[in-house]
Amino acid sequence: MEGVMQGMQAYGAGKAGGAFDPLTFFQQPQTILRLVCWLFSIVIFGCIANEGYVNRPDEIEEFCIFNRNQNACNYAVGMGTLAFLSCAAFLALDVYFPQISSVKDRKKAVLADIGVSAFWSFVWFVGFCFLANQWQVAKQEDNPLREGADAARAAITFAFFSIFTWAVQAFLGFQKYKLGADSALFSQEYVDPTADPNAAAPMGTDYTSYTADIDPAASTEPAFDGSAGYQGQEY
């Protein structure tokens, strides 16, 4: 029974099949932080996609605002889009996570969350350094009117913030992993007690083999025979 009760709370989630509570879900720190990461990716992507390309007054073709380095804009737009999709995917996984009955599958989901979050923290660290460097070396004559300057600074700022939001996300995932590791359930499969008629029985008890060992003949009492008549008792 103790193993089943631990399985119900494996990796910080209740037993499988529980009702989904949106209010409780959106109040969880991990969900709030994932929404923040999702919002930051939208800001970075939107700033570069809308105002990240400028041109000189005497030019028609537009170039990337970051020192006319197309790779800088492509990096920000591409990583912002992928981070947005990643956040959406893991939000869906967070919703489905309590429905996962297998402890091993929960472990895989938590490890994936840790790895992806750490990866995005590194990606945004590289992006912040790249964008900040290209913005610093950008030439004044390439953008004399300083068009899109606010958008460029916003992209750099939110890329910097994203380093820490994703890092904290990885830390929260690691805390959830430690919760599952401390419960010593890596080798056990959680089974919903409502689906297993023997789940309430003490662990290690096999009623099938117990009843099979009973000799029906040994437990059968002889039938009453009335032919002997009534025998009175002497006092």
pLDDT tens per residue, range 175-203: 989 887 666 444 444 444 454 555 444 55
Give the residue, 146 or 47, on which the prediction is more confident: 47
> Taking 50 as the threshold, does the pLDDT of residue 230 lie above it?
no
Query: Could you give the domains of the chain?
Result: 24-183 (1.20.140)
> Taking 90 as the threshold, does the pLDDT of residue 171 lie above it?
yes
pLDDT number for residue 187:
41
197's CB contacts (< 8 A; 6+ apart) are none
CB 108 within 8 A of CB 176: no
Rounded Cα distance between 43 and 150, Å, is 12
- Residues 155-182, mean pLDDT to the nearest whole number: 92
Q: What is the CA radius of gyration of the chain?
A: 32
- Residues 49-73, mean pLDDT to the nearest whole number: 89
Lowest mean per-residue pLDDT among 8-17, 54-63, 99-108, 178-187: 8-17
pLDDT tens per residue, range 75-128: 999 999 999 999 999 999 999 988 888 888 999 999 999 999 999 999 999 999
pLDDT number for residue 6:
44
The residue with tokens 């029974």 is: 1
